[in-house]
Structure 1
Amino acid sequence: MDDRGRLAQPLKGTARWRLRLADHAAVSAAPPGDGKATRPRAPVARIIERWSSLLDSKWPRGVGVAATAVIIVASLAYGVVRGDHVPSMIAGIKGARDGIAGATGFRVVSIALAGNHHVSREEVLAAAGVTGTTSLLFLDVDQTRERLKTNPWIADATVLKLYPGELQIGVKEREAFALWQKDGHVSVIADDGTVLEPYVAPRLSQLPLVVGEGAQTKAKEFLALLDRYPTMRDFVRASVLVGERRWNLRLKNGIDVRLPETDVAPALERLVALDNEKNLITRDIVAIDLRLPDRVTVRLSEAAAQARIEALKDKLKKKGGNA
């Protein structure tokens, strides 16, 4: 009790804070030792006063519990993302969802598959993401179709749901068109240049071989042109794209035929005509250069070149003797 008869009461937290603020303001306003009054720091005092009044205000019932729940959920979400547990969490949710749908009679129990020849049934189902627990109710047809098309053999697909538990899948496969060699590796490609698989199947050994960077996308047009000259095509072992600009033909007997960058058809016609007239591609030569439109350059093998030199020497000797 003070000198006026008032009973002293303990101060609450906010009241103590206000008292400290008042003391701070009084000290700030008090004159310093030289007797001159200083200007109080009004902005700082106002900010502190605002925060203290906010803390002293009454909040609705349950706000603290809600804020705590938000903090816990945010912490859990942060932990899931930082720990890279999102895929497993999504998979768990999908599994629980499919389990509930399966228990109500919407599990996929029958799958009709058509159109697959190069791709096995297991590969199709794996690409579609269909398992023994898949629910027909939650299966997304468009998403399943796009997943099927991630398999390079599958050009297009249709997916049909027949409730309560039948799924029909039809696939349109790409056809093996050629073999493509690059950096020492040989792959099977479709006519649009899509790489289908590494070359391991002997049944595909009769496919035409194209070689070089970019050859897979230009093979369809060039091989169609080569098909117009079947007698020459049958001699070709590989078509080699040079600098992604022009083609060379490597024949089965080792001869290189160098084709021009443009006007390839006339060059092939000249080659066929020369072979018909002079059996050019069966001679002892290593290269035939058709890059210039007004001439054909032939390079002999070393043995043929040496034999030609000797023949010329003998011819000169005979001429000298006759003289």
Structure 2
Amino acid sequence: MRQIDPAFTGQPTNSKAHKAVDPAPTRWQYRMERLWLTPMFRAMIRTGIPSFGFVFLFTWYINDPVRIAAMIDWYEGAVSAVQDRPEFMVSLLRIEGASEDLQDDIQEALPIDLPLSQFRLDMGELRSLLVDLDPVLDAEVRVKSGGVLLLRVTERTPAVAWSYDDGIEILDATGQRVATLSDIESAGGLPLIAGEGAEKNVPEALTLIAAASPINDRLIGLARIGNRRWDVVLTGDQRIALPEDAPAAALDRALAMNAAKDVLARDVRVVDLRLPGRPILRLSQPARAELKRLQDLERLSLVNTEGTQ
């Protein structure tokens, strides 16, 4: 015969035999649920702990020098495998805009040994090395298709030859050095400047040289005097002493005076224009002696004339 559950019969039940289940969570479960609702706790569980584990394992792995060396070798091998591919190799060097002597200087100055991967070329450093060369005004460095390293340079234009105690240098119009010479004959037809501070006043010197074009056939060069002013040096041991201020205007006055009175064709050693409005002509030693002789004769003639009277 089937037994009937006492709960359905209305009879009292035995609490030890059957205990009711409480649907509410336990205290531990409640605390865990509240903790899980905290954003910081969820972030720590989802991100912090995995990240910490990864960092710990990575630190443990790379703490071995052998593993580090292996990783470096693998990385360098992978990079080299890409950089040294044939399509990235530079095998030819082309130099444009440079003279033969400058081309030789460029090849000696550049620390490159072709063929070489273009990834191993420092274009900025190469350009700096080119611009540091005295004859180079500007430079362009780039790699062209076909593995050609193109160096396009702009040379400085020689303007004057500067003579100083240590030798002779060729300068451009700004006073920058272009080359060093062993003798003045190597300067060719370049105008000559000399004296302390002459190299720092090349633009003014070129202005004076251009103004002296009417006597260009007699022009030797310019001499800087006391690092303050210029002397125009001419053949025949003649000079035109220019003032410190407005030297070009003073030179124009000297040329006008020469055109009117042919001063430079006479036995004059220096045309001194340092005092505004008061040009002074300094005669050569023979001319001064001749002038003194004539003056003595004139005085003697006057004395004889007075004696006869």
Quickly name the TM-score band, shorter chain normalised. 0.5 to 0.7
Shift of 1:270: 2.0
Residue 155 of structure 2 is aligned to residue 173 of structure 1: yes
Are the counterparts in 1 of residues 169 and 179 from structure 2 also a CA contact under 8 Å?
yes
Select which of 197, 211, 220 maps to 1:228: 211
In the superposition, relative to structure 1, how do residues 233 and 101 fare at CA in structure 2: closer, same or farther (>3 Å)? Answer: farther
SS in 2 for 1:210: strand
SS in 1 for 2:277: coil
In the alignment, the residues of structure 2 paired with residue 164 and residue 194 of structure 1 have an alpha-carbon distance, to the nearest angstrom, of 37
In the alignment, the residues of structure 1 paired with residue 250 and residue 269 of structure 2 have an alpha-carbon distance, to the nearest angstrom, of 18
What corresponds to 1:213 in structure 2? 196
In the alignment, the residues of structure 2 paired with residue 228 and residue 189 of structure 1 have an alpha-carbon distance, to the nearest angstrom, of 20
Shift of 1:125: 2.5
What corresponds to 1:188 in structure 2? 170
SS in 2 for 1:271: helix
Select which of 92, 96, 102 maps to 1:110: 92
Shift of 1:282: 2.3
In the superposition, relative to structure 1, how do residues 163 and 276 fare at CA in structure 2: closer, same or farther (>3 Å)? Answer: closer
Q: After TM superposition, what 4+ stretches of structure 1 lie above 6 angstroms from structure 2? A: 98-102
How many correspondences in the alignment? 234
State the AA in 1 paired with 2:208. L
Residue 236 of structure 2 is aligned to residue 253 of structure 1: yes
What corresponds to 2:107 in structure 1? 125
Shift of 1:119: 3.8
Select which of 254, 270, 285 maps to 1:271: 254
Shift of 1:132: 2.9
Select which of 201, 216, 237 maps to 2:220: 237
In the superposition, relative to structure 1, how do residues 197 and 186 fare at CA in structure 2: closer, same or farther (>3 Å)? Answer: same
In the superposition, relative to structure 1, how do residues 233 and 309 fare at CA in structure 2: closer, same or farther (>3 Å)? Answer: same
Shift of 1:112: 2.1
The answer for unaligned runs of 5 or more in structure 2 is 1-58, 66-76
In the superposition, relative to structure 1, how do residues 179 and 319 fare at CA in structure 2: closer, same or farther (>3 Å)? Answer: same
CA deviations 1:43-67 (Å, max 9, x no partner) are xxxxxxxxxxxxxxxxxxx99xx79
State the AA in 1 paired with 2:231. N
In the alignment, the residues of structure 1 paired with residue 247 and residue 171 of structure 2 have an alpha-carbon distance, to the nearest angstrom, of 24
In the alignment, the residues of structure 2 paired with residue 304 and residue 99 of structure 1 have an alpha-carbon distance, to the nearest angstrom, of 84
In the alignment, the residues of structure 1 paired with residue 228 and residue 194 of structure 2 have an alpha-carbon distance, to the nearest angstrom, of 13
State the AA in 1 paired with 2:96. A
SS in 1 for 2:240: strand
Shift of 1:297: 1.4
Are the counterparts in 2 of residues 127 and 150 from structure 1 also a CA contact under 8 Å?
no
Are the counterparts in 1 of residues 240 and 270 from structure 2 also a CA contact under 8 Å?
yes
What corresponds to 2:70 in structure 1? none
Residue 127 of structure 2 is aligned to residue 138 of structure 1: no
CA deviations 1:4-61 (Å, max 9, x no partner) are xxxxxxxxxxxxxxxxxxxxxxxxxxxxxxxxxxxxxxxxxxxxxxxxxxxxxxxxxx
State the AA in 1 paired with 2:138. D
In the superposition, relative to structure 1, how do residues 184 and 127 fare at CA in structure 2: closer, same or farther (>3 Å)? Answer: closer
What corresponds to 2:13 in structure 1? none
In the alignment, the residues of structure 1 paired with residue 154 and residue 304 of structure 2 have an alpha-carbon distance, to the nearest angstrom, of 78
Are the counterparts in 2 of residues 136 and 163 from structure 1 also a CA contact under 8 Å?
no
In the alignment, the residues of structure 2 paired with residue 288 and residue 197 of structure 1 have an alpha-carbon distance, to the nearest angstrom, of 34
Shift of 1:279: 1.9
Q: Please say which structure displays the higher CA radius of gyration.
A: 2
State the AA in 1 paired with 2:251. L
What corresponds to 1:147 in structure 2? 129
The answer for unaligned runs of 5 or more in structure 1 is 1-61, 70-95
Q: How does 1:37-76 map to 2 (within 5 A)?
A: none
In the alignment, the residues of structure 1 paired with residue 196 and residue 284 of structure 2 have an alpha-carbon distance, to the nearest angstrom, of 28
CA RMSD, Structure 1 to Structure 2 (Å):
2.9
What corresponds to 1:156 in structure 2? 138
SS in 2 for 1:234: helix
